[in-house]
Amino acid sequence: MDFKTVEAKWQKTWAKQKAFEPKTDAQAPKFFFTVPYPYVSGSLHVGHGRTYAVGDVFARYKRMAGFNVLWPMAFHITGTPVLAISSKIADGDKATVQMHEDYVSVYESDASKVKKIVQSFGKDPWNVVNYYSGKLVHDFSRMGFSLDLSRQFTTGDAEYNKFIEWQFHTYQKKGYLKQAAYPILYCVRDRNAVGEDDIKDGDSDPVSVQPFTGFKFAFEDGFLVSSTLRPDTVYGITNMFARPDATYAKIRADGQILYVAKEFVEKMKLQHHVVDVLEEIKGEAFLGKTCTTPLGKQVPILPGAFVNPDHASGFVHSVPAHAPFDYVALQDLKKDAKWKGLVEKIEPIAVISVPGYGNWPAKDVVQRMKIANLKEKAKLDKATAELYKKEYYEGTLLPINGEFAGMKAETAKDKMALWLKAKGAALDVYEASRPAQCRCGGQVVVAVLSDQWFLDFNAAGWKTAANQCLQRMDIHPATYRKQFEDVFAWLDKRPCARRRGLGTRLPFNRDWIVESLSDSTIYMAMYTIIKKIRELKLTPENLTPEFFDYVFTGQGKGTPQRDAVRAEFLYWYPNDQRHTAVAHLTNHLSFFIFAHAAVFRPEHWPHAITLNELVVAEGTKMSKSKGNVVSLNDIANNTGADLFRLYAISTADLAATLDFRAKDVEALRRRLYKLYTIWDEWSALSQDQKTPTPVVRWLQSKFASIAQKSTDAIERRALRDYAQAAFFEALNAAEHFGSRATPAEKAQAAALLLKPWIGLLCPLIPHACEEYWEKVEGEGLASTSAWPALPKEWRDEQSEAAEDFLMNTVSDVRTILPLVKKKPAKISLIVANAAKRKKMAELLKAETPDQLTGDSFMENFVRKRLYELKHTRPVDESAILRESRAYLQSVFGVPFEVLEEDKTDNPRKEKALPGKPAVFVE
């Protein structure tokens, strides 16, 4: 069977028949299922594949189980990535052009067409969106996902913008939106905020905002500003460092006189300070003078060659007990005759105690790492990182720290910064975590926006409602509920709008665009109504806040049109199940719950969240830089949708990482083809209606329990268990049956079991199932058939016990054969007599093995496996063995004879035990 042909065939059929578009007027109960829409910026990979495959199994099962299922999809385009692709291509960025030519050539064979398409991306970001969104649909369809494709939209559509405007109007009304100052990365040349994509090497070497505390050291008529990440060491300051060859500026900032590096002046202006430069001063001019720490202590200003004037405020105060740089710098200065005298008077001041370190941790680290001088910058950076981390998490403040004594460094850090700021002894200073350049060539610095919009999750009542929603929800795997609770507890304020990117503008402040996670929290509601909005030809102007108020909450004035739209919403909402990857838990899924709690009535809050873990390839995490990303397209072309789905579901539990290993995939392919071999064989057999023989009854019984197990497993959301039962267990049983059964028996089995088996596997491997369904049934679709339920009466423990007995016997014979060391000509099986059975029954009455004290062959045997035997159902051993002589002969290649212990004088007859015939080899 050529999977590509078969899969394409059924994908086409499903699309043509609109098999997965639900009816709103259906009698069946509704099931509204969603998986987050994909971001439109390139191709999909196996990670998406897993999440959607899991989703598809749920959706397909529910559909077969009688629900009217809506599983729609749409596209996320908000934010900067799409813009970045477009502008990079417009700029002729070679790597980006190459990457997208690669992507596009997956779909287009004509090389000149590929170039044309990619060039069009540079002309308009919407060309990126329009092209890739079509391809995403194509990729998903090739995996057989049963999506309703008739409700597509993007987050940049006019209707969507109106919808998000309504959401933010609602937030505004409830008081959930706040404005406050906020630091961002900023390009001085573009005069705009920059994201990872705008920064050179921003993806491989990310840049972040580092918040420093600027300490004010009284100096002459003003203050020197030093910058620190460690305000908790303020009591340990021994001196100030200035760079001799740097230029500093005396400035008037916000009404006071400050001294900072000249380079810092422009940054300071961007950080929302009003600054006038009064005078420029060389660094040398400060040296040897004194200044006063925020705590009022006089300290000298010393030369610091390591001080970078282009980093923060350009002065660095010195805490030699806890900062390796400071410690080494002072050691270096001792070698300088000019400073020796002054420096030797400086003694490091310990302010934090850290387990495993002495009084001066910086000294310990420097000595251990054998750092000789300031030139060993790499080692010093490492030492600093190690010590800072250690002190931050494990450090405790010593008594010298006044009211902060005894506090953990972690807590003290923020408290001391606040305390100093409140005293007017400190200010906020921001710097980028590393020197960085924008792609335009401009320097990346930190600017402070004075009016950043935030969502305030701690606004009155919001968190309570969100927690209520969470409590009512079903979270699977259950272990993640705790994580939600934790996340909810520490969610505070979150910036929710940006200055740039695609998306929706804030209705009451159009300079701002709603940020990409904040505009994707309640869009499931949009799925329910978008079709009706289009059908009624409602224009964006119609989609006023009043319109959505009415549609979603029933408030305000209704019109026939509004009622029609509201009816759609009321039919489908709430979202019955949302499925996605665990990575979304701390952000998207949490915001999803908060947003629902904020804008919808409790009866429309979501019901369930299911999660799956990530996908790795050949044991390692996938990443673009490693070049080991497996694209969904490769899967469709090389693996096949059915095989991938089977692999993704059966290999790892939802809570476990899925390792995509080519070798294991191929091993599974062989199993899958074995299934097809059996289905081919079965479907070719003519129907046989005779009474089922024992072996057939055994298989029926097996399948009845497999069907039950499968259903229970999916209902429990244990998809791996479902796959194990419906695929592996069933296949093993069928294989075993195949080795035991006659053609007539196979025909019986086929007539009874083939169709239900196809049904059971349809959510998992839908393409193959449709193919065989067509062969067997001839009409309709497996995908829309009813979920199979096999009669309970098929369960037949007696048949299963009989088969178990036979297999145990086979296994015993196999153990014995090598021991007899001769080529067997004939094998006799001797069945134990009635007296032994009676005795055995007596022995089995024992509660525990140690109640059996005898030393007979039987008693030893029973003692060893008392509990096992208690659960073994007695069977008619002679009859079973006699019926199976042909089978036994086929396994061992010699004739079998079945004897009764009482009717034979076979030398081994004493060894016969109930359930365990004696074996005699001749």
The residues in 668-687 that bind RNA, with binding defined as CB under 7 A, are 670-671, 674
Closest contact distance (angstroms) between CB of 661 and RNA is 7
The whole-angstrom separation of Cα 878 and Cα 898 is 7
Closest contact distance (angstroms) between CB of 575 and RNA is 20
Residues 6+ apart with CB under 8 A from 663: none
Closest contact distance (angstroms) between CB of 311 and RNA is 20
Q: What is the Cα gyration radius of the chain? A: 37
CB 146 within 8 A of CB 59: yes
Closest contact distance (angstroms) between CB of 785 and RNA is 29
Site for RNA (CB under 7 A): which residue of 564, 816, 846, 894?
816
Residues 11-70 that bind RNA (CB under 7 A): 39
In the complex with RNA, the residue whose CB is nearer, 212 or 286, is 212
In the complex with RNA, the residue whose CB is nearer, 656 or 835, is 656
HEC readout, 275-330: EEEEEEEEHHHHCCCEEECCCCCEEEEEECCCCCCCCCCCEEEECCCCCHHHHHHH
The whole-angstrom separation of Cα 862 and Cα 864 is 5
Stretch that binds RNA, among 104-112, 526-534, 749-757, 847-855 (CB under 7 A): 847-855
Is residue 819 a contact point for RNA (CB under 7 A)? Answer: yes
Stretch that binds RNA, among 146-154, 415-423, 635-643, 815-823 (CB under 7 A): 815-823
In the complex with RNA, the residue whose CB is nearer, 48 or 645, is 48
In the complex with RNA, the residue whose CB is nearer, 102 or 203, is 203
Is residue 183 a contact point for RNA (CB under 7 A)? Answer: no
Closest contact distance (angstroms) between CB of 193 and RNA is 8
Closest contact distance (angstroms) between CB of 811 and RNA is 7
Q: Tokens for 881, please give them.
A: 């063995």
Stretch that binds RNA, among 4-12, 85-93, 396-404, 663-671 (CB under 7 A): 663-671
Residues 275-334 that bind RNA (CB under 7 A): none
Site for RNA (CB under 7 A): which residue of 195, 348, 361, 606?
195
Site for RNA (CB under 7 A): which residue of 812, 859, 883, 900?
812
Residues 68-87 that bind RNA (CB under 7 A): 76, 78-81
Site for RNA (CB under 7 A): which residue of 656, 662, 684, 841?
656
State the DSSP code for 805. Answer: H
Closest contact distance (angstroms) between CB of 587 and RNA is 4
Is residue 731 a contact point for RNA (CB under 7 A)? Answer: no
Closest contact distance (angstroms) between CB of 583 and RNA is 6
The whole-angstrom separation of Cα 624 and Cα 636 is 20
Phi, psi of 496 (to 5 degrees): -125, 5
Q: Partners of 210 in the beta sheet?
A: 431
Residues 6+ apart with CB under 8 A from 485: 467, 470
Q: Residue 595 belongs to what H/E stretch? A: helix 590-599
Closest contact distance (angstroms) between CB of 674 and RNA is 6
Residues 709-728 that bind RNA (CB under 7 A): 728
CB 839 within 8 A of CB 857: no
Closest contact distance (angstroms) between CB of 614 and RNA is 8
Residues 216-235 that bind RNA (CB under 7 A): none
Site string for RNA, 558-597 (x = CB under 7 A): -------------------------xx-xxx---------
DSSP string for residues in 628-695: ---BHHHIIIII-HHHHHHHHHHHS-TTSPEEE-HHHHHHHHHHHHHHHHHHHHHHHSPP--SPPPHH
Burial class (CB in 10 A: 0-12, 13-18, 19+), 771: buried
CB 97 within 8 A of CB 534: no
Residues 362-421 that bind RNA (CB under 7 A): 393-394, 410
Q: Where are the alpha helices (DSSP H) in 369-523?
A: 377-394, 409-422, 462-472, 480-490
Residues 453-482 that bind RNA (CB under 7 A): 479, 482
The whole-angstrom separation of Cα 842 and Cα 839 is 5
3-state class (DSSP) for residue 890: helix
Stretch that binds RNA, among 279-287, 314-322, 749-757, 809-817 (CB under 7 A): 809-817
In the complex with RNA, the residue whose CB is nearer, 156 or 756, is 156
Q: With DSSP H G I counted as helix, E B as strand and the rest as coil, what are the percentages for the chain, rounded to 5?
A: 50, 20, 30
In the complex with RNA, the residue whose CB is nearer, 338 or 393, is 393
Closest contact distance (angstroms) between CB of 346 and RNA is 31
Closest contact distance (angstroms) between CB of 494 and RNA is 3
Residue (of 653, 740, 745) closest to 691 by Cα position: 745
Closest contact distance (angstroms) between CB of 344 and RNA is 37
Residues 592-631 that bind RNA (CB under 7 A): 619
In the complex with RNA, the residue whose CB is nearer, 750 or 912, is 912
Site string for RNA, 200-219 (x = CB under 7 A): --------x-----------
Closest contact distance (angstroms) between CB of 117 and RNA is 22
The whole-angstrom separation of Cα 227 and Cα 215 is 6
CB 318 within 8 A of CB 265: no
Closest contact distance (angstroms) between CB of 775 and RNA is 22
Site for RNA (CB under 7 A): which residue of 458, 620, 815, 856?
815
Residues in contact with RNA, counted by CB under 7 A, come to a total of 73
3-state class (DSSP) for residue 621: strand
Site for RNA (CB under 7 A): which residue of 266, 344, 347, 664?
664
Residues 486-545 that bind RNA (CB under 7 A): 486, 490-495, 498, 501, 515-517
In the complex with RNA, the residue whose CB is nearer, 260 or 387, is 387
Residues 855-894 that bind RNA (CB under 7 A): 864-865, 867-868, 871-872
Q: Tokens for 119, please give them.
A: 């060039």
In the complex with RNA, the residue whose CB is nearer, 530 or 866, is 866
In the complex with RNA, the residue whose CB is nearer, 8 or 869, is 869
User: If phi over 0 gives left and psi between -120 and 50 gives alpha, with beta otherwise, what is residue 87?
Assistant: alpha
Site string for RNA, 123-162 (x = CB under 7 A): ----------------------------------------
In the complex with RNA, the residue whose CB is nearer, 793 or 850, is 850
Residue (of 172, 178, 167) closest to 545 by Cα position: 167
Closest contact distance (angstroms) between CB of 94 and RNA is 23
The whole-angstrom separation of Cα 468 and Cα 597 is 8
DSSP string for residues in 346-357: ------EE-TT-
In the complex with RNA, the residue whose CB is nearer, 501 or 788, is 501
In the complex with RNA, the residue whose CB is nearer, 352 or 919, is 919
Is residue 821 a contact point for RNA (CB under 7 A)? Answer: yes
Q: Where are the alpha helices (DSSP H) in 438-557?
A: 462-472, 480-490, 524-535, 545-548
HEC readout, 223-257: EEEEEECCHHHHHHCCEEEECCCCEEEEEEECCEE
